[in-house]
Amino acid sequence: MRACERLMKYAQVYTESAMDTEAIPSTPGQWDLARMLVDELKELGLENPSVNEFCIVTAWLPATPGCEDAPALGLLAHMDTAPAFSGKDVKPIVHENYDGGDIVLPKEGRVIRATDFPFLAGLKGKTLITADGSTLLGADDKAGVAEIMTLCERLIAEKLPHGRLCIAFTPDEEIGDGPDHFDVAAFGAKYAYTVDGGAAGSIEYENFNAATAVVDITGVSVHPGTAKDVMENALLIAQEFNALLPPDAIPGKTEGYQGFFHLDRMEGTAASCWMEYIVRDHDKGEFTVKKALLGRAASQIQAAHPTAKVEVTVKDSYYNMKEKLADCMHLIDNAKRAAELAGVTPTVEPIRGGTDGARLSYMGLPCPNLGTGGYNFHGPQELACAEEMDAVVDILANIVELYRK
C-alpha cells in the first residue's frame, strides 16, 4: 500500500487534540487510531505492537541476521491533529496531474490559490491530496505515520537488511504533551527521527525555545455612571500590557530565526480578563530576555493601576534541540545523503515551532525532524503530495541502510 493511501485512511479517524483538559490523551478519538495502528503492526509482523495507558503506540522490528551490531534507530510520528481547525469528518480528495493553478475545494468556498502559495508551482503534474474545505487534512502528522508504516511493510516484504528499528506513535503533540510519558529507556533507540515536517527532503535540527505566558488581570468593576476615578477596566489594562511588547515581534512580521510574542487567546470582561501568549526564540539568551520583558511589563502596568491586580505566569515548554544534537551531526549528514540517494534535494532549515523530537532530545534521545511531503498545516488549505510521500519512504529506507552499514 502506498503511503498516500494510508494517509487517506488515517485522516478519516477523528484525532483532534484539545487544550484545557486533564484527560490522557486529551481526546478519546486518539485511542481509535492507536488501536488501528496496533492491529496493522501486528499484521505486518512487528515485535510486540502495543498501546500503553498513555496512548503511546510502540513496536519493534528486530535486526536482520548479520545486522545486530547496527545502532538501534527510532522513528516517531504523532497521531493527533491540531485543535486550530476542525479535524472531524475529514473527507480526503485526490487531485491527479495537478495543473499548477488554483485548487478549488468543494466546501465553504475555499480555494488554495497558487499566488498565495508559490511552492505549488513545483508540484505541477503530481498527485495532491486535500480535504474538502470544511476541515484540515491531518497530514500533520498522519502523513508521517503513514510513511513509517509503509517503510515497515517494505522492509519486511522485500526482506531488506536492517538494524533494529524502534517505532512509536504518540498522542497530543499539537498541545505539547506528546513526550510527557514517553519511556526513552524502554524504547531502546540510540538515535531517532521524528517524521513530522514539510516538504520531502527537509531536515530540521534547530527549533524555537518555547514558553507559554498567562497574564491574569483583575480590574475594579463599578457602575459606569459612577466610575470616575474608581473603575479599572481589565480589558483596557490588557491593551496597555500588549502595547508594551515590541510591535514587530509577532508571527506576522518575523521569519527564519526571529523570535516573537504571539497573543494566542484572550477572554474576559471589564471586571477581569486573561491573555495567553506563546513566546518563541531560537537564541536562548534572547528567549530569556523575552520572558523577562513580560515580567517588567506586568510590574509597569501594576504600578500604573495600583487598585487592579496584574499577574503573569510563564512556563517553559521546550528548548532548541540544536544544543543536544551538536555531537550527533551524523544524523543530519545521513539524512542529507539519504535524500540525495532518493533523488531529492535536501534542505536544512530551522523550525519555526517545535516537535516531539525537541523534548526527546533533552530526554536523552537525539531526534531531528524530517519532512513528510505535507504543506499548509493546521488549516483547511492543508495538502499532501503523493509522490513526495513516496520519496519520504525512500529517504527513510536509505537512512535505515546507512545506519545498517
Cell of 13: 479517524
153 is catalytic: no
Helices then strands, counting H and E runs in the chain, come out as 10, 18
Is there a contact between 291 and 234 (Cβ–Cβ < 8 Å)?
A: no
Is there a contact between 96 and 127 (Cβ–Cβ < 8 Å)?
A: yes
Q: What does DSSP assign to residue 379?
A: S
What residues have CB less than 8 Å from 79, skipping those under 6 apart?
15, 30, 33, 34, 37, 55, 57, 141, 142, 145, 169, 170, 171
Cell of 250: 509577532
HSE toward the beta carbon, residue 397, CA cutoff 13 A: 22
Find, among 323, 320, 346, the residue nearest to 333 by Cα: 346
- Rounded to 10°, the helix 139-157/3-11 angle is 140
Interatomic CA distance for residues 373 and 200, integer angstroms: 5
Other CB atoms within a 10 A radius of the CB of residue 389 amount to 29
Active-site pick, 16, 80, 356, 382: 80
Q: What does DSSP assign to residue 63?
A: P
Unique residue bearing C-alpha cell 519532512: 371
Unique residue bearing C-alpha cell 537488511: 161
Report which secondary-structure segment, H or E, holds 333: helix 330-341
Other CB atoms within a 10 A radius of the CB of residue 17 amount to 25
173 is catalytic: yes
Strand partners, 128: 95, 385
Positive or negative CA dihedral for 52, 54, 57, 59? Answer: negative
Active-site pick, 140, 147, 173, 382: 173
Interatomic CA distance for residues 352 and 394, integer angstroms: 26
> Residues with catalytic annotation?
80, 173
